[in-house]
Copies of this chain bind each other. A is one copy, B any other.
Amino acid sequence: LNKRNRKNFRKLFLGLHGYEQSQLFAEFDFAQRKLIYTFLSPEELANVFDDTEEDPGEMGKYLDEMSDAYVSRLLSEMYMDNVVDIFTDIRPIKRKKYIGLLPSDEADQVRELIHYEDETAGSIMTTEFIKVDKNQTVDTAMQHVKQEAQEAEVIAYIYVTDEANKLVGVLSVRDLITHSDDEKVADVMATRVLAVDVNEDQEAIAEQVRDYNFVAIPVVDASEEIVGIITVDDIIDVIDEESAEDYSHLAGVDTETISRNPFQTALKRLPWLITLLFLGMLTATLINHFEGLLSQVSVLAIFISLITGTAGNAGTQSLAVAVRRLATNNHLKIARLILNEIATGIIIGVITGVCVFIMVGVWKQNFLLGAVVGTAMASAIFVANLAGSLIPIGMEKLGVDPAVASGPFISTLSDLTSVLIYFNIAQYFLQLFIK
C-alpha cells in the first residue's frame, strides 16, 4: 500500500474518513510517515490530525519529523483548539518555535488560548466560529456565512454581536434560510443566549450542553465579548474523560493510561495498595490487642473475614451512590441524603444481622455466638454504610472532588471499624453471660 505508488495511495487514503486516516497513520512507522509527508499536502494531513484520538504528546513528536514549512502550513490549517492541545503537551522551547511558524494573528490567538487553565472552558474552546453584526440583513449575514463556512468548525449557530462587540443573540442556519433576505438579523435572532465564562469548569459546561441539547455553546470573557465556542464533539470527550475518572477512582487505580510494560502497570497500582496496607496493619494491631480474647474463644476468628467483607461491600455500595448523587444532583439536600442513608443502613444492617444470627446459630448450635456475630455484623454494616456516604459528603464540603474516595479505601477503613466493633461486642457478651 505504502510503496512508491503515490497515486494509488492517495486515492485509497483520501477516500477514507479523517478518523480512519488517523487510525492508519498511527500505525505507520518512521519511514512510512516520512513518505506520508511527501505524499500528502499539509492541508490534507491537517484533516487527519484534526480527527485523531491520539495522545497530544505523540502528535508533538510527529511535528519534529517535518520540515518547518510543512509544519507551518499544517498547523495553520488545523482547528485552533487541536493545535493548542498539541502545544500544551510539548516542551516550551519547541512550542515557542512552532508558534513562531504560524501567521502572526493565529500565533496571537494560540498564545492566548494556551494560558487558560486545564479543564476550563478556555482550554477546550475553539476560536473558529461565525459572528455577524446585529444590524446586518439576513442576506448579508448569509453571504458572510458562505465565506466563513470553510474555516468555521461548526456552522449550526451564528453568533450576533452589537456595536460594543458584546454577544447579544444567536441565529441558527435554519433561521437564516427560512427567513426572507431583507429582514434584519436583530429581528430574527434569539436574544436569550446561554453563554459560559471562559474560566468555567468543563464538567459543568458538559452538563449544560447535555441538558440543553446544544451542538455548540459560546464562551465569553469578563466584558461579555464572545471569545470562542465549545463544540459538542469536545463535550463528548469531556463526558468520557470525567466518567472514566469517576470509574478509576472507585477502583482506586487509573484505568485509562494503558502501559504495555508490567513494571509501569505495577508502579501505577502499588502506591494505593501500600497505603492501604498500612491501614490494614492498623487493623492487625487492633486484632493483636484482643489476642487474649481470641485465644480464649478461638471460634471468634472464623467470622472476622465474614464481618469485615460484608461491611466493606455495604460501604462500597453506599459510597458509589453518594458520589453519583453528589455529581448529578447539585440541589440535593445533604441532610436528607444522610438521614436516608442512616435509615437504609439500619434496615440493611438488621436484615443481614438476623440472617447471620440464624446461620451461625444453626451451624454452630450456639445462638449466643450467633447473637454476637449478628449484632457485630449489623453494627459494622451500619457504620460502614454511614462512612460510605459521610466521607464523600465531607470531601465535597472541603472542596475536594468526592470521587477521589475509592472503594478499596472504604472497605479497608471499614475492616478497621468492623474489627473494633466485633471484638468489643464479643467481649461485652462474654462478660455478660459467661462470668
Give the residues in chain B near A252, CB-CB below 8 Å: 313, 316-317
Number of this chain's copies in the assembly equals 2
Distance in Å from the Cβ of A170 to the closest Cβ of chain B? 11
Give how many A residues have a beta carbon under 8 Å from the other chain's beta carbons. 108
Partner of A177, one of B142, B258, B302, B356: B142
**CB of A412 closer than 8 Å to a CB of B:** yes
6 tightest Cβ-Cβ pairs between the two chains A and B? A251-B320, A262-B343, A243-B243, A301-B301, A313-B408, A253-B317
**CB of A163 closer than 8 Å to a CB of B:** no
Q: Which of A3-11, A276-284, A427-435 contacts B (4 or more CB under 8 A)?
A: A276-284
Evaluate contact between A291 and B287: CB separation under 8 angstroms.
no
Give the residues in chain B near A301, CB-CB below 8 Å: 287, 291, 294, 298, 301, 304
Distance in Å from the Cβ of A184 to the closest Cβ of chain B? 19
Q: Which of A93-101, A120-128, A228-236, A391-399 contacts B (4 or more CB under 8 A)?
A: A228-236
Evaluate contact between A51 and B213: CB separation under 8 angstroms.
yes
Evaluate contact between A348 and B270: CB separation under 8 angstroms.
yes
- From 347 to 395 in chain A, residues with beta carbon under 8 angstroms from any chain B beta carbon are 347-348, 351-352, 355-356, 359, 363
- From 319 to 361 in chain A, residues with beta carbon under 8 angstroms from any chain B beta carbon are 319-321, 323-325, 329, 340, 343-344, 347-348, 351-352, 355-356, 359
**CB of A204 closer than 8 Å to a CB of B:** no
Evaluate contact between A298 and B309: CB separation under 8 angstroms.
no
